[in-house]
Each structure stands twice: as C-alpha cells, then as structure tokens.
Amino acid sequence: MSFFEKITDGLKLYEVLMLGFGSLMFIVLLILLVLFAVRKTPLKQLLLYFGIAVLMLGWPSIQKIKVDDTGVEMEKAAQQYAEKPTEENKKKVADLVRQLKERGVKNPDVVTKMAMAQFTIGKTRESLETIETLPAKEKQDNSIKQLVSSIKLSDSLQAQLHVVQNNAADSNEIRKLNELHSHAVNLPIKSPQLDSSIHVANQKITEYQRLNPRVKISSFNTHLVTPDHQ
C-alpha cells in the first residue's frame, strides 16, 4: 500500500475529501500567514479559516485513530475468546470485525487479522470470504495458506463428525474421521471450535476401537491422540 492509502485506509470518502481539502487549505493559509506578516497586515481575518482547516484535518485524523484502535481491540478480543470461548466474547469479536468491514479497511495486515478473528470464533465461511479480498500476492503468504488449510480441515472434520454420528458402526466413515483427525491435531493454527471437534473425534475413534479391536481404521502410519494426551 502507498503512504496515502495507509493514512486513508478505513476512512469514508467524505473524510478523505476533508483530509485532502483541509491539507490544501492549511498550506495556503500558511503561505498567506507569511505574506500577511511581511506586509504587517492584521492576522485576525485568517484565524477563522485556520479553525476550519484544523477541523477538516482533525475529524478524519480522529476517525483514523479510532479505526486503528478497533483493529488492535479486535485482535485482543479474539485472543480473549480463544482463552475463554464465551458467547459474550464471541459477540464482541464479531462486532469489532463488522465495524472494520463497514469502514472498508483494506490494509492486508488488518484484513489478515480479521480473517483470523473470524476463524477463531467459528465463522469459517466469512473468514474465507475475507481472505478472498486480499491481493493475490498476500494470499501466497505462508500464514494465509496455513489459515486456509485450518479453515478447510475444520469444516471437513465437523462435517465428518455429523456423518459418523449417523453411521457410528461404519468402519469406512471412521477411517475418514481418523484421517482428518490425524491431520487436524498437527495444524499450527487452531480455533476453539476446531479443538472441540478434535476432542470429540478422538473420543469417537477411541470408542470405536474399543468396541471393534480387530478392525484396522488407519491406512497409514498416524499417531492417534488418546484422551490423556489432549
């Protein structure tokens, strides 16, 4: 992003116009101030215009500070939800993400944090949609690829759990669940929802093995996490 894009990111069009015209007006007034001083002309008539220029510069600046603070607050709220996944914390994260989206924030760093926050509270579809708004170059970043992998695997694991719930005795479905589970436990990025799915999947796999000790459910060498290792 260019310097201008960074300082105007998250501002409404009218606020960008205020910032632009306010800056231009302030520069013109400084030039007039020097001319008035050289000619020893009274400066009172310039004071009102200086006030207007300061107001035009001040309002968008305050809004920009608020947008930046919202981004920081969203990141902290997402961490709080990860540590304590309550509905109240979840709503707070969702509200902060909504505020940033309404502001049209495009800074890749902030957009990435928005996608991560959405994944953290279980909004996987919304998280993928947010990632799609990133520039092509940013999508190739390792952290984004890892996040996308976590999102897709989280959805797949949850969907397979529903299948197993209705076909608990089907060894093929248990095998699929075991494969997804074995990949999920090694993901570098997880959410409370994904952790919960991993735990439930582990319980179902362990229970199936207990009832069917002679059935091989793993077609490759994987480490099955037992409840003691959760």
Q: Model confidence over 63-86: pLDDT tens digits?
A: 999 999 999 999 999 999 999 999
- Reading the block at residue 60, the tokens are 């968008």
Ordered by start, the domain boundaries in the chain are 3-140, 145-229
Q: Residue 223 above 70 pLDDT? A: no
How far is residue 103's CA from residue 116's CA, in Å, rounded to a whole number?
18
Confidence band for 219, pLDDT divided at 50, 70 and 90: low
Q: How far is CA 40 from CA 9, 34, 36, 101, in A?
A: 42, 10, 6, 51
Q: Residue 216 above 60 pLDDT? A: yes
- Average pLDDT of the segment spanning 22-42: 86
Q: Residue 31 above 80 pLDDT? A: yes
Across all residues in the chain, what is the average pLDDT? Answer: 88
How far is residue 71's CA from residue 117's CA, in Å, rounded to a whole number?
10
How far is residue 16's CA from residue 4's CA, in Å, rounded to a whole number?
10
Q: Residue 226 above 70 pLDDT? A: no
For 91-133, what is each residue's pLDDT tens digit?
999 999 999 999 999 999 999 999 999 999 999 999 999 999 9
pLDDT of residue 134: 93
Q: Residue written as tokens 């990435």?
A: 112
Q: What is the pTM of this model?
A: 0.81
Confidence band for 7, pLDDT divided at 50, 70 and 90: confident
Contact in structure between 84 and 63 (CB atoms under 8 Å): no
Can you state the angle between helices 108-120 and 142-166, rounded to 10 degrees?
20
Q: How far is CA 182 from CA 155, 190, 225, in A?
A: 15, 14, 8
Contact in structure between 178 and 208 (CB atoms under 8 Å): no
Neighbours of 77 (CB within 10 A): 23
pLDDT of residue 213: 85
Q: Residue 228 above 50 pLDDT? A: no
Percentage with pLDDT > 90 across the chain = 65
How far is residue 148's CA from residue 154's CA, in Å, rounded to a whole number?
10
Q: Residue 224 above 70 pLDDT? A: no
For 122-174, what is each residue's pLDDT tens digit?
999 999 999 999 999 999 999 999 999 999 999 999 999 999 988 877 888 89
Contact in structure between 93 and 117 (CB atoms under 8 Å): yes
How far is residue 49's CA from residue 51's CA, in Å, rounded to a whole number?
5
How far is residue 71's CA from residue 62's CA, in Å, rounded to a whole number?
15
How far is residue 22's CA from residue 20's CA, in Å, rounded to a whole number?
5
How far is residue 71's CA from residue 76's CA, in Å, rounded to a whole number?
9
